[in-house]
Amino acid sequence: MKLNIRKIFGNKVAKENQDEFDLSRFKNVEKILNEIGGLSRFTNNFFRELFRPPYEHTELLKQAYTIGLSTLPLIGITAFIMGLVLTLQSRPVMAEFGAESWLPGMVSVSIVREIGPVITALICAGKIGSGIGAELGSMRVTEQIDAMEVSGTNPIKYLVTTRVLATTFMIPILVFYSDAISFLGSYIAVNMHGFISFPLFINQAFDALHYNDLIPATIKTFFFGFAIGIISCYKGYFSENGTEGVGKAANSAVVISSLAIFIIDLVAVQLSEIFNIFSF
């Protein structure tokens, strides 16, 4: 009887490769679960320190001022272009149906309900999230956080709590600013193909808005800000492997924060549709 050596060893190698693939897949799942668990413990530490004195009012105001001021130019330019392009792209379709007069209302609802909050939050995730991740990551690898713990300063309260609160309260303000600039861009786009006075444009835009447009969109911006702050602080706070780890912390802070924004937006839209709480 003649043995097929190649077939025997080939099957053995294939089985080993399959086992290695299953093991790597299990490790990826384990890594994701560890990240979720670590972020949950970190969030628990944040809420535990949030209500314990002393309160870092000065650092909180400093972070809020820095976060808001650093993103104003970028958000302003992006919002202006967003309103301009959205109006120019929508006008031909509206004109085909003879509904060109509805353009200010359509643009205002689109910007306030969805485009404004999400785009602004994504910009802040890239600008603010990467900054927080890199800043705390560099403090970790240079042992500044360790020095704070040794000296008796609580790094969670001083570094994390202030930054998370600053992002939580500044993102909604930046969204309102973004919406206003978008309206300005839309007004200019409307006047490229005709003329409408600014008061009339604003009246038409706000006549189309209702509480069920404004309130859910505003509430979810607080969650956007919290997600950006807590995820960026977590990735930076537990950064490792020197300067390479700082870059990875900044990059992962942006990626995970952006993903969290889309997930929160999906949940918020579904909840507002299911419960329809603010339909008055």
pLDDT tens-digit profile of 7-39?
544 555 455 555 555 556 667 788 888 888 999
Residue 260 Cα distances to 39, 124, 266, angstroms: 13, 13, 10
Sign of CA dihedral 78, 80, 85, 87: positive
Residue 212 Cα distances to 220, 273, 280, angstroms: 13, 10, 7
Whether 158 is covered by a domain: the verdict is yes
107: burial class by Cβ within 10 Å (0-12, 13-18, 19+)? Answer: buried
Helix (H) or strand (E) holding 208: none
Whether 43 is covered by a domain: the verdict is no
Q: Is the pLDDT of residue 68 over 60?
A: yes
Query: Cβ(74)–Cβ(125) under 8 Å?
Result: no
Q: Which of 82, 178, 160, 81 is nearest to 124 (CA)?
A: 178
Instruction: Write down the H helix ranges in 162-275.
Output: 162-190, 198-207, 211-237, 242-275
For residue 1, the model assigns a pLDDT of 46
For residue 192, the model assigns a pLDDT of 87
What is the C-alpha to C-alpha distance for residues 176 and 120, in angstroms, rounded to an integer?
A: 10
Domain count, the chain: 1
pTM for the structure as a whole:
0.86
Whether 108 is covered by a domain: the verdict is yes
Of 100-114, 184-198, 253-267, highest mean pLDDT: 253-267
Q: What are phi and psi of 208, to 5 degrees?
A: -85, -10
Q: What are phi and psi of 158, to 5 degrees?
A: -80, -40
Write the pLDDT tens digit of every residue in 234-275: 999 998 877 788 888 999 999 999 999 999 999 998 888 887
Domain that holds residue 142: 61-275
Whether 134 is covered by a domain: the verdict is yes
Whether 94 is covered by a domain: the verdict is yes
Mean pLDDT of 123-143: 92
Write the pLDDT tens digit of every residue in 45-64: 999 998 888 888 899 999 99
Whether 35 is covered by a domain: the verdict is no
Whether 239 is covered by a domain: the verdict is yes
